[in-house]
Amino acid sequence: MVFDVEIVGDTVYAGGRFDHARPAGAAPGEHEVPRRNLMAFDLHTGELLDWGPTAFGSEFSSGDPGLSSWCRDTGNDRWICDSVFRIETDPAGEHVYVAGDFDRMDGTWRSRIAAFDAGSGELTSFDPPPTNRRVRALSVGEDAVYFGGGFTSVGGTSRTRLAAVDHEGNLLDWAPAANREVWAVLARPDLDRVLIGGGFDEVNGSTKRSMAAVDATSGDSVAWQAQPPAGTPIVTDIVSDGSDTAWISALDFRHGGGEQRFEGRMSVDISSGTEHWWDGCLGDSMRMAVTDEVLYSVTHAHDCWAVEAIPERGADFRHFRMLAQTKDAVRTAPRDHTLVSAGDPIPEILPWFPNTNAGKSDTLINNGTWAIDATEDYVVVGGDFTAVNTHSRDSHRQQSLTRFAARGVDGARNNGPQWPFRAPELDSVDGGVKLTWPAIWNAQNGEMHYEVMRAGTPEPIHVTDPVPSRPWYGPEPWEREVMSYVDTGASSGTYWIRAIDADGERVGSSSATIG
């Protein structure tokens, strides 16, 4: 199971809870090599790299069955917790930092945080004081490494789920406090802010549910306006593109807020905490990645009707486990839905619809996808899935890691018009033969046009205007269009339809004969 991925130059680092890696397409048990909780592969080829330090934890006894979501059950109520939850680089990209449950790296003691030289791959001397519990959140600045989790002390000094050390590993005075586990930290010392997210409802003794901001030097609470309107959300990730904007994702597996719960994404001003938009999507969201124009996320979205996408009912598949959307709001909401009100600014869901299965059944939530990072040319996704593009014609077996590439990248496969594409219905009408057929969906284009083909005629007898090709249907504006054409003067013939997208990808329907 992969909990995080980080792209550094031409290398992808992956961390999680696993003990082997194998080449793409190989069956479980075939061509496997040992990799315990950390591995790296080439961004462009997907080839496994030699880097693979062993992240290990000490065995202990516990009767808590909840440990199974994150730790290894060794039997008889014995456990090893050594998962890697976060991978981050310093601003210069010279060092790779990892955080999690482990207490050793290749046999060298490193309590829950460690750093590696990005060039040589060697473990560095960075060795912060040990925390007494899990480190789940990590953000690396120019002068300090900020982290959060479930701990209450660092090196025996009280630190309530948030702490910072310098780049030598020395504990700093920075000591804000959260009353429950911290899952995400984003340090922006250039704006004098550190954003924090998690399952808490108090920060520094004041009510702040799931998200807050503190001063990057003192740790004191600073201005923060945005708050989830209802529910029991856990903020899972906070990302930024270096601007004054951050994006925040959340899960709420308790469903405490009903339809008002925060499980999607929102955008916020870092300096004031004032919200820019909420997308109102339901379906727990785990991680995000932001590029020049696009916000990517791993999720299991099943209702984004607040932004006129993915209705709760009426889609070609139930859960959308990867999404791409505009970073910024592009229009206003046409209706009240979930936590979005009519007139609120909203982003747009973009036509990028790969998918995976839900993964293993023994995880905390059957999300399938848990980790994501992106450049302008690649998107890398990790999780516990065992198949990719499970609802499209590009379906193939792939476990826990996969890559997607932009148009024009060597090896990129177009995954455009999708099956099933049934034969058109044919009816005799006054003046000819009437063909009727529904639009199909496209995994990477928002529109397609259709060509009507007749046996014995090499060229199309009719070409439609472009029509929407999203993988859902329902009320306007995304009603699945039903098209028709009358072949004037014909009384018989064999017909089929071709769907063609902007990339030139095409699929043909089955044929039908009349007369």
Could you report the per-residue pLDDT of 371-410, keeping only the tens digit for each?
A: 999 999 999 999 999 999 877 777 778 899 999 999 989 9
Nearest-angstrom CA–CA distance, 355 and 358: 10
**CATH code for the domain in which residue 448 is found:** 2.60.40.10
What pLDDT shows up at residue 263? 94
Query: Residue 310 domain-assigned?
Result: no
Whether 368 has a pLDDT exceeding 60, the answer reads yes
Choice between 322 and 470, residue whose per-residue pLDDT is larger: 322
Contact (CB, 8 A) for 345 and 387: no
What pLDDT shows up at residue 475? 44
Whether 88 has a pLDDT exceeding 90, the answer reads yes
Nearest-angstrom CA–CA distance, 103 and 133: 10
Mean pLDDT of 210-236: 95
Mean pLDDT of the chain: 93
Could you report the per-residue pLDDT of 290-338, keeping only the tens digit for each?
A: 999 999 999 999 889 899 888 877 666 678 999 999 999 999 999 999 9
Burial class (CB in 10 A: 0-12, 13-18, 19+), 131: buried
- Identify the domain containing residue 456 by its residue range: 425-514
What pLDDT shows up at residue 477? 37
Determine what percent of the chain is predicted with pLDDT higher than 90. Answer: 80
Number of domains in the chain: 1
Whether 116 has a pLDDT exceeding 60, the answer reads yes
What pLDDT shows up at residue 361? 67
Q: What is the pTM of this model?
A: 0.94
What pLDDT shows up at residue 266? 98
Choice between 308 and 147, residue whose per-residue pLDDT is larger: 147
Contact (CB, 8 A) for 275 and 195: no
Query: Residue 115 domain-assigned?
Result: no
Whether 100 has a pLDDT exceeding 50, the answer reads yes
Mean pLDDT of 270-292: 96
Whether 474 has a pLDDT exceeding 70, the answer reads no
Whether 231 has a pLDDT exceeding 90, the answer reads no
Whether 423 has a pLDDT exceeding 60, the answer reads yes
Q: Taking the chain, what is the end-to-end CA distance rounded to the nearest angstrom? A: 57
Whether 181 has a pLDDT exceeding 80, the answer reads yes
Q: Which two tokens stand for residue 505?
A: 């990808």
Choice between 442 and 115, residue whose per-residue pLDDT is larger: 115
What pLDDT shows up at residue 362? 66
What pLDDT shows up at residue 392? 73
Confidence category of residue 360, pLDDT binned at 50, 70, 90: confident
**Tally of residues, the chain:** 515
Rounded to whole angstroms, the maximal C-alpha distance in the chain is: 89
Whether 23 has a pLDDT exceeding 90, the answer reads no
Cis peptide before 420 (omega within 30 of 0): yes
What pLDDT shows up at residue 379? 98
Beta-carbon count within 10 A of 129 CB: 17
Query: Residue 453 domain-assigned?
Result: yes
Query: Residue 317 domain-assigned?
Result: no
Query: Residue 433 domain-assigned?
Result: yes
Query: Residue 294 domain-assigned?
Result: no
Contact (CB, 8 A) for 35 and 81: no
User: Which of 120-124, 192-196, 442-446 has the weakest average pLDDT?
Assistant: 442-446
Contact (CB, 8 A) for 460 and 467: no
DSSP state of 476: T
What pLDDT shows up at residue 478? 45
Query: Residue 503 domain-assigned?
Result: yes
Query: Residue 468 domain-assigned?
Result: yes
